[in-house]
Amino acid sequence: MRVLGVDPGLTRCGLGVVEGTPGKPPAMVAVGVIRTPAELDVAKRLVRIEAELDEWIAKYQPDAVAVERVFAQHNVRTVMGTAQASGVAMVVAARRGLPVALHTPSEVKAAVTGSGRADKEQVTTMVTRILKLSERPTPADAADALALAICQVWRGGVASKLQQAATGRAHLEAQAQAQSRLQLARLQAAVAAQQGKR
């Protein structure tokens, strides 16, 4: 499973592509940051983010996109920019037909460090270890994007396997019921034929 993690932001939007399966160490495919200048009009900044995200999806062909779920902060301007960038990421993924998963910061921290209260330093350290990187991904937005992708590979992969198993079981049950109805119909037809001969 290949996942594009997006740590949304207007000034810096972290991107990280990770490949792996649940229960095995994932591998980094790519990492980067989309930067937009603060003096640029917000609409134009969002267009830049959209274009670069689309390029990343075209280039790295992820199976899913994981975006950090926006949560309330004290700075409303920061939240607005983050929410706008997050919306752009979801639209770009949906336009390409990719599933989008939203993870809260504490979910991501818990997935990669074991603690939902870990700080950015701890997240970066664990991302570096998990992906066996020779150097720490910087800035923190890039490390956070990789952490999002790791979280989705591990947690989303398990959820996906459970969903596939449930779908498979439902399909087998439906087949068994259809087979049972067919056998019953044949038996009734045979009984009716026997009674008609008498």
Cite the active site residues.
7, 68, 141
Locus of tokens 């900044």: 45
Read off the tokens for 90: 């979801």
Angle between helices 140-151 and 120-130 (to 10 degrees): 60
* Residue 9: both structure tokens together: 């932001």
- Among residues 54, 53, 51, 12, the alpha carbon closest in space to that of 33 is found at 12
Tell me which residue has tokens 């026997």. 194
Do strands 12-19 and 2-7 pair parallel, antiparallel, or not at all (unpaired)? antiparallel
Chain centre to alpha carbon of residue 61: 13
Is there a contact between 143 and 22 (Cβ–Cβ < 8 Å)?
A: no
Residue 99, phi then psi, degrees to nearest 5: -70, 145
> Environment class of residue 121 by beta-carbon count within 10 Å: exposed (0-12), middle (13-18) or buried (19+)?
exposed
- Crossing angle between the packed helical segments 105-113 and 120-130, to the nearest 10 degrees: 50
